[in-house]
Amino acid sequence: MNTQKQAGMGRSASEHDAPWRPEFGSGFRRLGEAAAWGFAICAPMLAMTGWLTYRGAMEMRAAQQAAYEATQAWERLAEAPAGPSLPLEVAVKGREVFVTVCAACHGPDGQGGLGKDLTRSDLVARFDDHAFREFIIAGRPNAAVPMPPRAGRPDLTDADLDAVVTYVRGLQDPRRMPELPPLVLTTAPVTEAEKAAAMAAAGGDAELAEYIASGAKLYATTCIACHGPGGVGIKGNGKPLVHNEFVASLDDDALLAFIKRGRDPSDPKNTTGVGMPAKGGNPALSEDDLLDIIAYVRTLQRPAGQAAASK
């Protein structure tokens, strides 16, 4: 029985008394033919499968290699010989843009805060200047913590964007950063229209109007990135400041103390899980600057008709 089963010919023992022998002329040949056909059919398929598996594996390896290299972009930049020194004037301009726009979220030295560390960002290292600029224009409005398009500053000019791109190149590779003079922030002079708006918001009080106009300018350089133009708020970045109960509940001293400190996500009083950096992330703001900003923010608390100074 055993042998029969092994031979697999399906004969029963009663048909032959003699011990079973393979019949070379018939069954085995057919088996051989079948095997040959089988092989002829299967071999190309096997070869194909093998080839596809091999190619798939090679493609996966190439993708893994590319992904790995993408994560090494900044390191490669740091290890490669330094590129040419960056043009001084553009770097100075770029620093000003960075400090007044990007620093609120990326930290004064670009090492990260609400936004990511840019000094070692592989993405930045991989960007050419054009792609970097396009990134800032588009922002990442859909990220868990969003980066607003144009960094929340629709007033940034093309020259501003080019300058900040250049400056960040220097943050990524300090060997290329020219020696920069001490930082001096230039705020554009208050326009007549802004003066008039501030005067109306101040109810004709010329001194208060000056504070409001200055505060509006400073707001537009530091706070606007997260709180939006006119304090309307930006979802995921900063709350609305118009008709804001918290603002209304505090006197100027308390509000000043709040802005100086900010509100870290670890603060039990934090309401959104997103942090408000100390001084809105701009350490260059003096106490007087902050009081001017407060004077401006007060104008955002008036009923709609009276908020003439809010942009």
Contacts to ligand HEC by CB under 6 A: 101-102, 104-106, 114-116, 118, 121, 123-124, 135-136, 140, 143-145, 147-148, 151-152, 164, 168, 222-223, 225-227, 237-239, 241, 244, 246-247, 259, 263, 270-272, 274-277, 280-281, 293, 297
Structure token pair of residue 242: 């118009």
At closest approach, how far in Å is the CB of 253 from ligand HEC?
Answer: 14
**For residues 199 and 219, which CB has a smaller minimum distance to ligand HEC in the complex?**
219
Maximum CA extent, the chain: 127
Round to whole Å and give the CA distance between 209 and 176: 44
Residue 214: burial class (beta carbons within 10 Å; 0-12, 13-18, 19+): buried
**For residues 214 and 237, which CB has a smaller minimum distance to ligand HEC in the complex?**
237
At closest approach, how far in Å is the CB of 39 from ligand HEC?
Answer: 54
**For residues 177 and 276, which CB has a smaller minimum distance to ligand HEC in the complex?**
276
Residue in the structure block whose two tokens are 């350089």: 221
Sign (positive/negative) of CA torsion 184, 147, 226, 154?
positive
**For residues 12 and 266, which CB has a smaller minimum distance to ligand HEC in the complex?**
266
At closest approach, how far in Å is the CB of 196 from ligand HEC?
Answer: 23
**For residues 169 and 202, which CB has a smaller minimum distance to ligand HEC in the complex?**
169
Round to whole Å and give the CA distance between 177 and 85: 6
Work out the number of other CB atoms within 10 angstroms of the CB of residue 289: 19
At closest approach, how far in Å is the CB of 100 from ligand HEC?
Answer: 9
**Half-sphere exposure (CA, 13 Å, Cβ side) for 115?**
28
**For residues 23 and 264, which CB has a smaller minimum distance to ligand HEC in the complex?**
264
Buried b (16+ CB within 10 A) or exposed e, 229-243: ebbebbebbbbebbe
At closest approach, how far in Å is the CB of 265 from ligand HEC?
Answer: 7
At closest approach, how far in Å is the CB of 115 from ligand HEC?
Answer: 3
